[in-house]
C-alpha cells in the first residue's frame, strides 16, 4: 500500500510513497501528514479468527492488511519486543472495574506509558530500514511527557540513528523528566525548552519542513525523521490495541461478536483516538468514540461546535500534563479522511494563519457521527482517583478524565472500555493528593513510597532506580536556540 498527503501534492514531492519512505521521511507537501491511500477493510470473520491469537499474531495480521513494505522477519523481530512487557502473554490487559466498565491498561512496557505500545516496534523497524539502506538518521521527538522516554528507550544505542528529544521545562512530571535526563545512550540528546508542549511540537514541525536545516544535516550525510505521531509509523501500531480491547471483552464473555461498544480515550495530540477511528473504519464494531480532555478543552469545543479556535487560549498546566496541548496534530488526518485534501489544506492554513478554523454545519454533523467529547478539571480528577481506589482500582490522573465521558456521553447501556495511558507511578504526587484529599506538595519519591506502602501498590524497579541515576542531560534552552544545539550535538557525535 502507498501513502498520500493530507494537504495534496506540490508537484515536487512524489504523489505517493511506500510505508518505509513515509516513516523515514515524514515531511510532506504544504506541511501536511502522510496517510494510507485507503484503509483496509478487515473481513467479517477477522475478529472471530483472532479470539485465540496472541497480541503479536493480531498485530502481524493487521500490519499485513496494510501491505507494508517491511520484511516479514523485521516485522516479527519488532513485535517480539512485546515479550519484554510485564506479561509476555498479555502486554496490555483489559481489566473489569464495574459491570459495564473496563480499563485497557497500556502502561506495562519499559517506560510505563502507552507510547511503548507503538514506539517499541516502530523504533525497531525504523532502525532496521536505516541500517539496511546504510543511511544515517536524526530522529526528532517532542514530548508532553511520555513520547520522550519511550522514544529514547527504543532508539538507545541503535546503529545509524541519533535522537534529539525536546520537552517543556516544568511541563512534565518529575518521573517523566528523570526518565529522559538520566538516559545514557551515546546517540541521545535531551533538551529542555523554555515554553510549553505546543512550542516543542511547533519547533519539531518547523525543523521537519526546513530546507536550510536539512541542508545543514546533509553536510554530515544525515537525513531527518520524527518519532512523534506526525509519523504514521506510530499510528499504525496504535490501531492494533483497539481490536485487542474488543477481543478481550469477547474472551471474557462480556459481549457477543458484532455487539457494539464505547471506547473512551484521554486525548492530547489525538493519535490514540485516531487509531480507534481507523479501527472503526476497518470494521471494528464501535458505537462511538468518546474523547476526554482536561481543562485545555480545545478538542471538546471543536467536536461539539465545529470551531477550532485558539486565538484567546493560553495553555493551562494541569495535573494531567500529557494532555496539556492546544494544537492537536492528528485531527488533520481525521479531517482528511472525512473531507479530502483540498478542504484539509484550507482548514489547516486557516489555523496556522489565523489560529482558528470553522467546519460547516454539515461537516460538524459528520464529525459528530464518530466522536462525542467532554472535559474535566483537576478537582474532578482527584475525586475520581479516590472514588476508584475505594472500590479497589488505582488509576493515574489522565485515566481519571475518562470517567467524566463515561458518566456523561453514553447514550446506550453498552460495555465501555477506557484507556489508561500511564501508570500511577508517573504522577504519584497528584495521586497521593487525591488519596489523602489534600493539596500538600509532595516530592515524587515521597509520594511513591507512601502510596506503595499504604495502599500496597506495586512499584516497578525501573521507577525506583531513577532516583539514584546520574543526570546526563541538564540543558534548558530558549526556543530560538534549538536548531543550533541540535547541529552542535550531531557534530560532536
For 292-311, what is each residue's pLDDT tens digit? 999 999 999 999 999 999 99
Number of structural domains in the chain: 1
For residue 78, the SS3 value is helix
Q: In sequence order, which residues have a C-beta less than 8 Å from that of residue 209 and are 6 or more positions away? A: 27, 31
As a whole number of angstroms, the distance between CA 391 and CA 379 comes to 19
Question: Would you say residue 373 lies in a domain?
Answer: yes
Please say whether the beta carbons of 289 and 263 come within 8 A: yes
Chain-centre distance of CA 4, in angstroms? 21
Residue-level pLDDT, tens digit, the chain, 493 residues? 999 999 999 999 999 999 999 999 999 999 999 999 999 999 989 999 999 999 999 999 999 999 999 999 999 999 999 999 999 999 999 999 999 999 999 999 999 999 999 999 999 999 999 999 999 999 999 998 899 999 999 999 999 999 999 999 998 999 999 999 999 999 999 999 999 988 998 999 899 889 999 999 999 999 999 998 999 999 999 999 999 999 999 999 999 999 999 999 999 999 999 999 999 999 999 999 999 999 999 999 999 999 999 999 999 999 999 899 999 999 999 999 999 999 999 999 999 999 999 999 999 999 999 999 999 999 999 999 999 999 999 999 999 999 999 999 999 999 999 999 999 999 999 999 999 999 999 999 999 999 999 999 999 999 999 999 999 999 999 999 999 999 999 988 7
Write phi, then psi, for 191 (nearest 5 degrees): -125, 120
Question: Could you tell me the CA-to-CA distances from 342 to 11, 239, 329, 339 in Å, in that order?
Answer: 15, 26, 17, 8
Beta bridge partners of 138: 162, 224
CATH number of the domain at 327, please: 3.40.50.1100
Q: Which pLDDT does position 209 carry in this prediction?
A: 87
Question: Would you say residue 138 lies in a domain?
Answer: no
As a whole number of angstroms, the distance between CA 117 and CA 241 comes to 8
| Burial class of 379 by CB neighbour count within 10 A (0 to 12, 13 to 18, 19+) | exposed
pTM of the predicted model, to two decimals?
0.95
| Burial class of 461 by CB neighbour count within 10 A (0 to 12, 13 to 18, 19+) | exposed
Cell triple for 31: 506541511
Please say whether the beta carbons of 280 and 371 come within 8 A: no
Q: What is the DSSP letter of 422?
A: B
As a whole number of angstroms, the distance between CA 306 and CA 302 comes to 5
Cell triple for 270: 489525538
- Domain encompassing residue 395: 80-112+233-466
Question: Would you say residue 489 lies in a domain?
Answer: no
Q: Which pLDDT does position 492 carry in this prediction?
A: 84
Please say whether the beta carbons of 434 and 383 come within 8 A: yes
Closest CA to 122 of 258, 240, 266, 257: 240
* CA angle 367–99–372, rounded 5-degree value: 10
Closest CA to 407 of 385, 384, 390, 424: 384
Cell triple for 237: 501500531
The mean pLDDT of the chain is: 96
Q: In sequence order, which residues have a C-beta less than 8 Å from that of residue 456 and are 6 or more positions away? A: none
Q: Which pLDDT does position 339 carry in this prediction?
A: 98
Question: Would you say residue 383 lies in a domain?
Answer: yes
Chain-centre distance of CA 150, in angstroms? 10
Write phi, then psi, for 225 (nearest 5 degrees): -145, -175
Please count the other Cβ atoms lying within 10 Å of the Cβ belonging to residue 129: 23
Terminal CA-CA length for the chain: 36
Q: Which pLDDT does position 314 carry in this prediction?
A: 93
Instruction: State the residue for C-alpha cell 512485546.
Output: 82
Question: Would you say residue 478 lies in a domain?
Answer: no
Question: Would you say residue 131 lies in a domain?
Answer: no
Question: Would you say residue 152 lies in a domain?
Answer: no
Helix axes 115-133, 72-79, angle to 10 degrees: 140
Concatenating the DSSP letter of every residue in 247-295 gives HHHHHTTSS-TT--EEEEEE-SSSHHHHHHHHHHHTT--EEEEEEEE-S
Q: Where are the alpha helices (DSSP H) in 165-196?
A: 174-181
As a whole number of angstroms, the distance between CA 493 and CA 491 comes to 6
Question: Would you say residue 303 lies in a domain?
Answer: yes
Instruction: State the residue for C-alpha cell 539514584.
Output: 468
Amino acid at each position: 500500500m502507498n501513502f498520500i498527503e493530507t494537504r495534496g501534492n506540490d508537484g515536487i514531492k512524489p504523489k505517493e510513497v511506500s510505508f518505509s519512505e513515509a516513516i523515514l521521511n515524514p515531511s510532506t507537501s504544504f506541511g501536511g501528514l502522510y496517510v494510507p491511500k485507503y484503509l483496509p477493510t478487515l473481513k467479517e470473520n477477522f475478529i472471530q479468527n483472532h479470539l485465540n491469537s496472541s497480541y503479536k499474531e493480531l498485530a502481524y495480521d493487521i500490519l499485513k492488511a496494510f501491505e507494508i513494505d517491511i520484511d516479514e522477519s523485521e516485522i516479527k523481530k519488532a513485535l517480539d519486543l512485546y515479550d519484554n512487557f510485564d506479561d509476555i502473554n498479555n502486554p496490555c490487559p483489559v481489566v473489569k472495574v464495574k459491570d459495564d466498565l473496563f480499563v485497557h491498561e497500556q502502561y506495562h512496557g519499559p517506560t510505563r506509558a502507552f507510547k511503548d505500545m507503538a514506539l517499541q516496534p516502530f523504533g525497531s523497524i525504523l532502525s532496521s530500514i536505516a541500517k539496511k539502506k546504510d543511511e544515517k538518521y536524526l530522529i526528532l521527538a517532542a514530548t508532553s511527557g511520555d513520547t520522550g522516554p519511550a522514544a529514547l528507550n527504543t532508539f538507545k544505542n541503535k546503529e545509524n540513528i541519533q535522537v534529539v528529544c525536546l520537552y517543556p521545562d516544568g511541563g512534565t512530571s518529575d518521573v517523566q523528566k528523570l526518565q529522559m535526563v538520566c538516559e545514557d545512550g551515546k546517540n541521545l540528546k535531551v533538551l529542555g525548552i523554555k515554553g510549553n508542549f505546543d512550542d516543542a511540537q511547533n519547533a519539531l514541525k518547523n525543523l521537519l519542513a526546513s530546507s536550510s536545516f536539512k541542508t545543514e544535516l546533509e553536510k554530515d550525510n544525515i537525513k531527518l525523521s520524527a518519532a512523534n505521531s506526525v509519523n504514521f509509523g506510530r499510528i499504525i501500531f496504535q490501531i492494533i490495541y483497539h481490536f485487542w480491547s474488543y477481543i478481550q471483552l469477547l474472551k471474557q464473555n462480556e459481549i457477543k461478536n458484532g455487539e457494539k461498544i464505547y471506547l473512551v480515550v484521554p486525548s492530547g495530540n489525538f493519535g490514540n483516538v485516531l487509531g480507534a477511528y481507523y479501527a472503526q473504519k476497518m470494521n471494528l464494531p464501535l458505537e462511538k468514540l468518546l474523547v476526554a480532555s482536561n481543562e485545555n478543552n480545545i478538542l471538546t469545543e471543536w467536536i461539539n461546535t465545529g470551531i477550532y479556535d485558539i486565538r484567546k487560549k493560553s495553555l493551562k498546566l494541569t495535573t494531567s500534563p500529557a494532555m496539556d496541548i492546544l494544537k492537536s496534530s492528528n485531527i488533520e488526518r481525521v479531517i482528511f479522511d472525512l473531507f479530502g485534501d483540498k478542504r484539509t489544506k484550507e482548514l489547516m492554513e486557516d489555523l496556522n494563519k489565523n489560529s482558528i478554523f470553522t467546519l460547516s454545519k454539515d461537516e460538524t454533523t459528520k464529525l459528530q457521527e464518530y466522536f462525542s467529547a467532554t472535559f474535566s478539571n483537576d478537582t474532578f480528577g482527584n475525586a475520581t482517583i479516590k472514588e476508584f481506589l475505594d472500590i479497589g482500582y488505582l488509576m493515574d490522573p489522565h485515566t481519571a478524565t475518562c470517567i467524566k465521558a463515561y458518566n456523561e456521553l453514553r447514550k446506550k447501556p453498552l460495555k465501555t472500555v477506557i484507556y489508561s495511558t500511564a501508570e500511577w507511578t508517573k504522577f504519584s504526587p497528584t495521586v497521593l493528593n487525591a488519596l489523602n484529599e489534600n493539596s500538600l506538595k509532595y516530592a515524587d519519591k515521597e509520594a511513591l513510597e507512601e502510596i506503595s506502602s499504604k495502599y500496597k501498590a506495586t512499584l516497578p524497579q525501573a521507577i525506583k532506580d531513577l532516583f539514584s541515576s546520574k543526570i546526563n542531560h541538564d540543558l534548558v534552552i530558549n526556543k530560538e536556540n534549538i536548531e543550533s544545539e541540535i547541529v552542535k550535538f550531531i557534530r560532536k557525535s
